[in-house]
Amino acid sequence: MDKMLFNIIRLKIMSTLISVDTCDFNYLLKVTESTKGNLSIQLKKLGEAKYINVKKCFENNYPKTRYKITSKGVRLFEKFFSDIQILKEN
Amino acid sequence: MESKEHIEIINQMINKTKEQLRPFSLNLIFWGALISIMSIIYFNVLYLFETDMHHILFWTIIPFLGMVFMTNYNIKKGREIGYETHLSRTIKIIWSIFGIAWLFIILLSAIQGFEGATIQFLILFTSAICLLISGILIKFLPVTLGGASILLILTLSSLIPEISYTYVNLFSLSLGFTIPGLFLYFHKSNE
């Protein structure tokens, strides 16, 4: 089992990113119901492990960060999901 | 945490992401209304359009300004929502290509000197194809039927050559854009 996805915030992030093409930090903050600091740390970990892509840009002179799941992230998330389903059935 | 709880979290998060089709419906209503109003104006004040350049300018500048306005609205709405689904990205790509195709048709018609009817046919035909694809993708029958109705109107207009461009535009835009757009806007799941 993938230990990276055992953290509840990281699991929430990945579950959100699997269902969208891209999303911003504020949306993730709202749906994960986490704090800014904790969310930033978990996003950084997922980014370092190449589960997600982080794209920084400027919108109306304000910095904006957009997140997108990578193909590695999709593969590992799907594997995690099938593993927990097997566990649940057993 | 148990595996059951993991699955519950995944389901909860996926269900939080809702397809946002209201901006798309507003795009359809806007274009339907704009081109219909333009057609009525064009038909009633035809004497103002003395040269071909007047016609081209009328049908280029106003839609171009509309395109700028709606692109700005779509970008703002996208920021407000905070996420983009795979489906809305696909719809965005389809209509961006339609926008490029529209510019290309206008450019070619200026170079080749296409007649008004040819330009109108090319634009309406391209929009009908985009509507058909969009309707099938979002699984919303009125949009698909809107695209099909434009194709039907184009077929009928080729059989009745004396029919006015204005009526073709008016019927095509109302049946293809405005009415499906209103249906989509008031659709229950689009809240």
- Report yes or no on whether pTM surpasses 0.80: yes
pLDDT above 80 for A42: yes
How many residues appear in chain A? 90
> Residue B106 has what pLDDT?
87
**A18 interfaces chain B, CB cutoff of 8 Å:** yes
Report DSSP state, residue B98: H
Cβ of A6 within 8 Å of Cβ of B83? The answer is: no
Query: Among partner residues A6, A16, A88, which is closest to B4 by beta-carbon distance?
Result: A88
pLDDT range class, residue B6, cuts 50, 70, 90: confident
> Residue B21 has what pLDDT?
87
**A87 interfaces chain B, CB cutoff of 8 Å:** yes
Cβ of B9 within 8 Å of Cβ of A19? The answer is: no
**A82 interfaces chain B, CB cutoff of 8 Å:** no
- Give the contacts of A9 (CB within 8 A, at least 6 positions apart): A32, A34, A38, A39, A42
Average pLDDT score over chain B:
88
Cβ neighbours of B82 in A, within 8 Å:
23-24, 26-27, 30
pLDDT above 90 for A43: yes
What is the rounded distance in angstroms from the CA atom of residue B104 to the CA atom of residue A25?
Answer: 37
Query: Among partner residues B1, B3, B9, which is closest to A15 by beta-carbon distance?
Result: B9
- Give the contacts of A73 (CB within 8 A, at least 6 positions apart): A14, A17, A18, A46, A50, A51, A52
